[in-house]
Structure 1
Amino acid sequence: MDICTAVAATKSGELLEQAMVERAKLIVVPALLSHSPKSVAGTITSFTVKSTNLELISLGGLTIDSWLRNGVTCYFQLSDRAKACEFYYNFASPILFLTKQPGGYACVLQTPEALSLGQRRSSMRIFPRPEYVLGFSLWPKGQFMTRCPETNRVKLNPPLINSNHLQENQIQLLDLSAGGMKLKIRHVGLKNVIAAWEEMPGVVIWLVLHDPQKKRNMTLWFKGRICYNHVDHSTKDIVSGLELTTEGIKEKSGKMVWRTVERRMIKDLATWTYERYLEATTRGVR
């Protein structure tokens, strides 16, 4: 379920027109895919008070009949130049007509009476405020823990990346979502990390986030994989996208149990990022 804030009905038409003129990308989610990370890309080609016409690239593997039996939810992003920030909007609507056309599909929706502020929770990304990121460590897969031969007990190895790197701006957490994150690794001071990064088979991450609403800290453990690396050839810095594939749950006994992340969404992380997004959006609206 997405948390949304209503937009005045009088402004909704202006926003739909802006989305059409700018050919803003719509994320279109039919009801049958609402619990899946899958979605369909589209754009608004025209609209009236009664109907809104979309162009869709595909139907997400579903049939026309299955789309027609269900409504859709559409998400899009627009820039507010006056406030110098981005806003995310969504609306739900029944489908009035759907047919195949060259290069995709033509879809006619009932024009919504009003829009809501808010992103799709599973695909939302935010830039976390530095004061809310209290701890961060990262280990290469397979180098997370070691057994001490003297005591036969398992202990943590020193991390490849730690909170000091974050505080010294050698590592930047560029964005955070319900199922992933984007890191920037600076070549200066971290040449050893850069050298090992592209060949890394996977990572283990420890992350501590502050929740200002609940006034508590949240400790999270993940395993993940590196999805892509973009190298700045002038600075040799790397921007890397990570998918979080496994979540570590600490039991009362102290034992860590690893559970596969389903639908690319970690519930606690999704809630935290969404609440921080709504805080920033509320400040922007004011």
Structure 2
Amino acid sequence: MHDFIFSASTSSNNFFSQIGKSFSASSFRTETALFTVYALLLIVAILIAVIIFMWFKNRKNNKYIPQDWVLHPSHIANTLRIARDEHEKFEVQFHSNGEKRRSTSCLLTDVSKDVLTIECSGLTNLQSSWVGKDVDCYFQVHKVSTGSTFFMFTTQILGVRGYANGTAILTLQTPVKLEQRQKRASLRISPPQQYIMGLAAWIAPDGISTKGTLDIRQWGRPVLTYLPEKSSQIILDNISAGGTKVRIPRAEMRKCDLDFKIGDKLFLLIDLWDPDTGQRVRYWLLCRVQNPFIDFVTHDAELGLQFLFTAQPDKKNTAELRWIEEPIGTGLDSIGNWVMRRHLELYREKGI
């Protein structure tokens, strides 16, 4: 009996010992599996963190590059050489703290890897302080297949010298990019007729003063007018911040006995509709005839007009106009903004 009990006890101890070993082995395998899972999760978390970090870094460093920018040095140099060989005019605009910027026409004479050389005949009072200043340069390149392409770039003046004949030589740093765009003053649009509320033109007298006030009533009725569905003696073909082109029918030229030449002055009243504000915008503008042209087919007169000065109703006497004595220069900002918005509207609506 004792041997049976001892045998049973021994068997029980062996049984529990085997179970213990089994549980120990199972626990070890579970711990190993959990460690492996945790290690894999940690690696995955680290990889995800690295990917997110790299994505944010690339997003921060990668800047949007417009499609119409020219960035390759060889393409920049080739474009500039084409403009040089075609003797294209370069309009150089000096940076300044104010809104008005001085500009002059120049000719590109030499293109190298590091510097550009331009000749300017309209610059006077050359100053050594110009060195280190920035300028904007506008030019165009003609191609038979695509027509004219307009470019601009901003660069720094590296050197200034003058010749006895009055020609100034500027050395500029070769730009790192060219942008395909025009000056805003040159961006023009043929506005939809519903945006043209009215147009009137007076022949400005010789020696007209652009100081003080102007009583337009003393000039009498305008020579030419446009009123929607009423009068079409003069038609606004296009407009930009710097000027406009108007068309005068042949019959009106004969009826009013008009003849225009370069340098003549016109005083214009232009009423435009601004859909952004839902209001009429009125401009009083003294203009210079730049390009008088007679159409060979219709024999209508087409006049390219440059904006010179603008006037506004006098605050004390609204029946009179007061001249804004500062010349318009490179363009009238308010008209330039209006043209830009209308241009974007047509682009979105018609894809032009």
- The TM-score with structure 2 as length reference comes to 0.58
Q: How much has 1:231 moved relative to structure 2? A: 6.2
Pick closer, same or farther for the CA change 1:32–1:164 going to 2, 3 Å: closer
Which residues in structure 2 correspond to 1:43-58 (within 5 Å)?
43-58=107-122
Describe the superposition over 1:141-192 as per-residue Cα deviations: whole angstroms up to 9, x where unpaired: 799559xxxxxxxxxx875433358999753434423243332323224423
SS of alignment partner, residue 92 of structure 1: strand
Give the number of aligned pairs. Answer: 267
Could you say if the C-alpha distance between residues 281 and 40 of structure 1 is closer, same or farther in structure 2, counting changes exceeding 3 Å? farther
- Separation of aligned partners in 1, 2:288 and 2:229: 19
Partner of residue 272 from structure 1, selected from 332, 335, 338: 338
* Cα drift, residue 95 of structure 1: 1.8
Q: Is the 8 A contact 1:68 1:95 kept in 2?
A: yes
Picking from 287, 291, 301, the partner of 1:237 is: 301
Which is bigger in relative contact order (C-alpha 8 A, separation at least 6)? 1
| CA distance in 2: counterparts of 1:63 and 1:143, whole angstroms | 41
Which residue number in structure 1 is paired with residue 139 of structure 2?
A: 76
| Unaligned residue ranges in structure 1 (runs of 5+) | 147-156
How big is the shift at 1:36? 3.7
- Take 2:241 and 2:253, find their aligned partners in 1: how far apart are those partners? 27
Q: Which digits, 9 at most, give the CA deviation of each residue in 1:62-104, with x for residues without a partner?
A: 32303224222211123354334x3322111112222224642
Residues 1:129 and 2:195 are matched in the alignment: no
More helix by share: 2
2: CA distance, partners of 1:196 / 1:42? 33
| Residues 202 and 27 of structure 1: CA distance in aligned 2, closer, same or farther (over 3 Å) | closer
Residues 185 and 77 (structure 1), Cα distance of their counterparts in 2 relative to 1, 3 Å cut: same
CA RMSD of aligned residues (A): 4.4
Larger radius of gyration: 2
CA contact (8 A) 1:138 1:205 kept: yes
2:183 corresponding residue in structure 1: 120
Verify the 8 A CA contact 2:240 2:336 in the aligned structure 1. Answer: yes
The aligned residue for residue 169 of structure 2 is 106
SS in 2 for 1:268: helix
Q: 2:143, 2:345 → 1: CA distance?
A: 17
Q: Measure how far apart 1:9 and its partner are.
A: 0.8
Q: Report deviation, 1:16.
A: 1.6
Matched with 1:94 is 156
Structure 1 position 260 matched with structure 2 position 324: yes
TM-score (norm 1): 0.69
> In the alignment, what sits opposite 1:173?
236
SS in 2 for 1:94: strand
- Structure 2 gap segments, 5+ residues each: 1-65, 205-213
Matched with 1:154 is none
Contact 2:236 2:244 in 1 (8 A): yes
In 2, the alpha carbon distance for the partners of 1:167 and 1:114 equals 50
Cα distance change on mapping 1:111 and 1:132 into 2, 3 Å? farther
CA deviations over 1:178-230 (Å, ceiling 9, x no partner): 243332323224423344878xx975534333557x48554223142554673
Structure-1 residue corresponding to 2:83: 19
Distance 1:277 1:66 in 2: 39
